[in-house]
Structure 1
């Protein structure tokens, strides 16, 4: 019974810490949707050079797309004329972070991690895109037919429903409809899974698990990497899991490996990439993410002060790290209730218009 009550307490505490930043992140996602239309994004990815690769990474970083949602978007860019390097750069940078996950990272892991995530996403995306362009010696057109994956069917149903009922709407309506209905529907299931997983880890895994049973930061990185590559978890949902793992003794570098590899790779993404782009590009994608995750993990553990990544305050009350300004309880609870109601509304909307 103690496990159940502690699970509920930890789940609510993590949710309360995340919810205000999630709501703000969803709002910014809606702003991006209105301010940067699809034609603007398509325009800058078509040249086989470093500029297009950099553009793809810069465009992808703030976009709130998970590793499943990024597949049809990236392939759409490619069919419209984007190079393979631009596509790989976009596929690497986009799912690692987004405006919503950056804010949630700040809420649970602190400012250094919130700044490092988009920077590392930019560097690894750029490196992967340049490498893909160097290895690409083909000029054949892409063949995309019947591409599907476990995590894209929901988005297709939502798209059909939205298209069926599409009318001329104001930008304000589009902003809130996308932010708090469409986008929230896309990630709500994985967000719930991430929160549940974080609470389960918090209750079941003993404190100092990684320092006591693994005892080596490098080994910890590879253990996390092996479990992260096939796993599906979105950039936002990965944050509470990483925070709880750090509470159990996982090094900041290994936590970064999880934050990079978990959102950017999964079995569905790897399968679709191999089918559409070929094994050479698929391996370029994986090697870029894996090498980048390990390299930056080692740099963080060995060259940055550990106190930058101290989340002792989170351990005491699932709050942000020591010295971090506390949001008022009424705002946290109100945001959690609002988020829960919006998620419930999303499932009702799906049942009404499957």
Structure 2
């Protein structure tokens, strides 16, 4: 991505590398390092006896909230970061062949199915989605991959069966996959009509010399060393996305500190107002799918609002500010980033209303 791509309008130039922020590389990335510092201090404070901490109102609550987020998110984020380095071992042409080169239902279904196979939370998948885009994968496929995946991983499905029951679990998974495919097809049509830009990295991938996975690994091992390359690529190419994930963790901890879960759930009944408030809450609460699930289960059981529970989980993918900012940084366009809520929100709200009505 070009250095100016996230501060100005032009689309990213694949020839200019992968800039990781709106700023020049010589400048300090205050968002990344500031959020990292807050996170590191919170982890250190969590390891200390509570009596050692200064008597500051809400401090312990904030530290606890931050530590809980770390426990929920670290594994998915680590796997996501490391996967970016591993994906560099795959020639971009191989990735395009796997997900499908042609437009239409087949390629979108392949992308959504790929999201199901990867057992990661939405934060780890964000990292991989950005890498797919830079490999030349169509934006419609990237969005289908991103929307389908957080619900349908094996680990989350097991937890969903325990908290929601088999009937609602299968219903939610089926509807979320439907939203992903429909959204992907809508964006596919927008790309074909020229309403949104084609992936600029795709042309570079199509022109690149065709090389096998085995030959690519040999080349990397010979030129730079395999393990060193994977580690360096993992850090350098994920930093742009990690800055927003880390900032989101700090913001989410602040929300959890000053807004109680009971106060939120009081307003989330099976009404249009409750559905709207659910949407707002899901937009600003920054946790993994696993972190959203207990709250969604409470909305389903205590508030008797399955539509709100579905909206809460789905909006965590489609309207979450971290997803929006990461897509903007990856594509270099605000318009491209806001395509995600544009093509998913109407579906989510409609399905939420229908679920509340039919379960009443």
Q: TM-score range by the shorter chain?
A: 0.5 to 0.7
* Cα distance, 1:205 vs structure 2: 1.5
Give 1:90's match in structure 2, choosing from 97, 122, 142: 142
Query: 2:105 aligns to what?
Result: 50
In angstroms, what is the RMSD of aligned CA positions? 5.3
Q: 1:55: how far off?
A: 2.0
Assess, with a 3 A threshold, how the Cα gap between structure 1 residues 126 and 246 changes in structure 2: closer, same or farther: closer
Separation of aligned partners in 2, 1:285 and 1:102: 21
1:260 to 312, 317, 325: 317
Distance 1:286 1:89, change over 3 A: farther
Aligned to 2:67: 12
What is the aligned counterpart of 2:251 among 197, 211, 224?
197
Q: Deviations over 1:41-97 (max 9, x none)?
A: 222432233112212333456484538x8568537626xxx5xxxx32322432664
Q: 1:66 aligns to what?
A: 126
Q: Distance in 2 between matches of 1:7 and 1:283?
A: 31
What pairs with 1:185-264 in structure 2 (closer than 5 Å)?
A: 185-216=239-270, 218-225=272-279, 240=291, 251-263=308-320
Structure 1 segment 1-354 matched on structure 2, within 5 A: 1-19=56-74, 21-22=75-76, 25-26=79-80, 29=83, 33=87, 36-43=90-97, 44-59=99-114, 62=118, 64-66=124-126, 70=129, 73-74=132-133, 77=136, 82=138, 87-94=139-146, 97=149, 122-133=177-188, 138=193, 167-170=223-226, 172-179=227-234, 181-182=235-236, 185-216=239-270, 218-225=272-279, 240=291, 251-263=308-320, 266=324, 269=327, 285-295=340-350, 297=352
Does the C-alpha gap of structure 1 residues 266 and 9 become closer, same or farther in structure 2, counting only changes over 3 Å? closer
Per-residue CA deviation, residues 135-192 of structure 1 (Å, 9 max, x unaligned), is: 66648995788xxxxxxxxxxxxxxxxxxxx94322x44444455x346534433333
Structure 1 pair 182–97 and aligned structure 2 pair: CA distance change class (3 A): farther
Aligned equivalents of 1:253 and 1:186: distance in 2?
A: 30
For the 8 Å contact 2:143–2:183, the answer to whether it is kept is no
SS at match of 1:77: coil
Q: What stretches of structure 1 of length at least 5 have no aligned partner?
A: 146-165, 305-354
CA displacement, residues 307-337 of structure 1 (integer Å, 9 cap, x when unaligned): xxxxxxxxxxxxxxxxxxxxxxxxxxxxxxx
> 1:247/1:56 Cα in 2 relative to 1: closer, same or farther (>3 Å)?
closer
CA distance in 2, matches of 1:11, 1:135: 40
| Gap change, CA 1:89 and 1:8, over 3 Å in 2 | same
TM-score relative to the length of structure 1 = 0.53
The answer to whether the Cα contact below 8 Å between 1:261 and 1:293 also exists between their aligned partners in 2 is no
Give the aligned partner of residue 349 of structure 1: none
SS at match of 1:48: coil
Counterpart of 2:23 in structure 1 is none
Structure 1 pair 59/208, CA: closer, same or farther in 2 (3 Å)?
same
Aligned length: 270
After superposing the two structures, state which structure 1 stretch, 193-202 or 212-221, moved more: 212-221
Q: Deviations over 1:241-298 (max 9, x none)?
A: 775787798852242133222348637857998969xx8x988754431133335545
